[in-house]
Amino acid sequence: MKVQVDKAKCIGCGTCVALAPKTFKLGDDGKSEAFAQDVDSQETLEQAIQSCPAQAISKVDEPKPAEAVEPAPEESSQPAQAPQPVAQVSQLEETPAPQEGGNGNV
Ligand code: SF4
């Protein structure tokens, strides 16, 4: 049996952690999360579900990851653009170098 915690509902009371410590733990945000599945007995998990004061625990077929991440879009057929250079070499050469030795204009 797999379970999932709705963090939006969880109030972090810790009841589920106390009842089923192999399945639930409190995260850094103070909310419970199901970090393992199929380790506590179904009876224990049912008890945790019934005991949750926020009704935040539910049975699921397949739990979603704690932080659902949108799948990355497929790579397009267009090649990735190379970063543009800061200045073209031809632009750098447009500025004439100062001439040494003078040319009579003092
Ligand atoms: Fe959250 Fe419910 Fe567990 Fe309490 S029993 S920590 S409200 S999921």
Task: Give the model's pLDDT for residue 72.
Answer: 57
- Is residue 37 within 8 Å of residue 23, measured between CB atoms? yes
Question: Is pLDDT of 45 > 80?
Answer: yes
CA-CA distance, 101 to 104, in Å (whole number)? 9
CA-CA distance, 63 to 81, in Å (whole number)? 38
Spans of all domains in the chain: 2-60
- CB-based burial of residue 103 (10 Å sphere; 0-12 exposed, 13-18 middle, 19+ buried)? exposed
Instruction: Indicate the DSSP class of residue 86.
Output: S
Which residue's CA is the closest to the ligand 1 atom numbered 3?
16
Whole-number Å distance, alpha carbon 29 to ligand 1 midpoint, is: 13
pTM above 0.75, yes or no: no
List, chain by chain if needed, residues with CB within 6 Å of any ligand 1 atom: 5, 10-16, 32, 52-54, 56-57
| Residue count of the chain | 106
Is 2-60 a domain of CATH 3.30.70.20? yes
